[in-house]
Amino acid sequence: MRNLRKRLNRPARIFAALGTALVLVWLLFPAQAQYRGRRGGGGGGRNGISSARMKEQERMEKAINPAFKEDVFTFARLRFESDYGGYGGGVRVWNDDTPEADLNLIYRLFEATSFKIRPGFNFIDITTKELAEYPFVYMAGAGRATLSEEEAAALRHYMLNGGFMMVDDFWGDDEWEHFSEQLKLIFPDRAPELMTLTNQIFKTVYQFKKQPQIPSAFYGGGGPSYDYNHIYQRMNHDPHYFGMYDDKHRLVMLICHNNHYGDGWEHEGDDVTYFDLYSMPMAYPMLINIVTYAMSH
């Protein structure tokens, strides 16, 4: 965003103006998000993106006023090392569900809201310089993330000065304990607070009667299933939403444990059942709640 680096040197209020600048149009989501099957077909394309995808990207690009091309919503995904081997080698977890998840969700936001959306992929390193460009960042595979002291300090500075972070895609006791250790590096003097359904984020736009839970999509066993291979002795299988807050009790990090929103976006076109059960009623409406909350607080 324009002049964001300068704003990050100010108190934690850098994104307050976005609440009025990015007003959503509350379209009836079920009518807007109709199942269309996979949108990846169509042949051709550049950089692994099909011609059908390219047309979606072009639509989003054309909707942006050139005078305000930097004042758009960007879905920024964090790159990080993992205890599997990191993004420089070995197994990567930060890019789980890409490219489909990222391309699906930005186009759904474009369809269902009045947000102007930056097209394409936005993969960023955890540095103060890169974080300063984005008011909203997303971490997938959080249960395997391994942060350096410099990255933890950059995230702390970012969130305490107005940034918002969504944490997703991890399950069970072991992954929670691993992420908790990384969380202590970021906020050594704060603890995550368990969120209940009364929290505003569950009713910002769409009213949830229960906390949403998106299963990982394993189709080899006959359909989508939850991650049953993990240990749930202490952290039961229910979805757990935790919040990290600044000194004014502003939510700066939403932690979605026992959840896989990335699959809810990635697999929306695999079959109509998955779309009807998870993508349409939970994965996208909750994302709209989260983004709206983040941009207006």
Query: What would be the CATH architecture of the domain defined by 4-29+42-296?
Result: 3-Layer(aba) Sandwich (3.40)
Predicted local confidence at residue 115, as pLDDT = 83
Q: Higher-confidence residue: 81 or 217? A: 81
Kind of pairing between the strands at 251-257 and 164-167? parallel
List pLDDT tens digits, range 260-273. 999 999 998 887 88
Kind of pairing between the strands at 240-245 and 193-194? antiparallel
List pLDDT tens digits, range 81-96. 987 644 444 456 899 9
| 25-39, 130-144, 177-191, 204-218: the lowest-pLDDT one | 25-39
